[in-house]
Amino acid sequence: MGINELIANVMSWVLAVLFAFATNRVWVFQAPTHTITEFLKQMLSFFGGRVVTLVIEEIILLVFITWLGFNSMVVKVIAQVIVIVLNYVISKFLFFQKKITGGLPAGYFCRMRVRAGGYIFPIDV
């Protein structure tokens, strides 16, 4: 197509990551957020992880296509398999973990009263 492999890869990556974040968040890991801060932290962490795998993919393409002259389609397919596995593992174990606090989902609080020595102490759990 006349576009450098590395530039084309970055362009496609931006669109793919936007789509992947939305689908992973909603359907794959079912990881809703409750505040804008949580959402932004989740999104920036997700993008950060994807940048790491983009760098890995770019290195693979640079070495095997540009420097060694291997077939670009074969190298791209192999690189994609590696990146897909890494992206899933990173997303599952770093970005979309289900957080549990005291048996309740994170962010869920309830007011309790504790009696101690004749006094009642309200606490949030």
Which DSSP symbol is given to 98? P
Which DSSP symbol is given to 112? E
Q: Is the dihedral of CA 48, 50, 51, 53 positive or negative?
A: positive
Q: How many CB atoms lie within 10 A of CB 13?
A: 18
Q: pLDDT digits over 66-91, tens only? A: 999 999 999 999 999 999 999 888 88
Q: How confident is the model at residue 119, as a pLDDT?
A: 54
pTM, two decimals, is: 0.65
User: What is the C-alpha separation between 92 and 31, in angstroms, rounded?
Assistant: 10
Residue numbers of the chain with a pLDDT score lower than 70: 1, 98-125
User: What is the C-alpha separation between 55 and 60, in angstroms, rounded?
Assistant: 9
User: What is the C-alpha separation between 75 and 111, in angstroms, rounded?
Assistant: 57
Tokens 């989902």 sit at which residue?
A: 105
Q: How confident is the model at residue 96, as a pLDDT?
A: 75
Q: How confident is the model at residue 98, as a pLDDT?
A: 63
User: What is the C-alpha separation between 1 and 7, in angstroms, rounded?
Assistant: 12
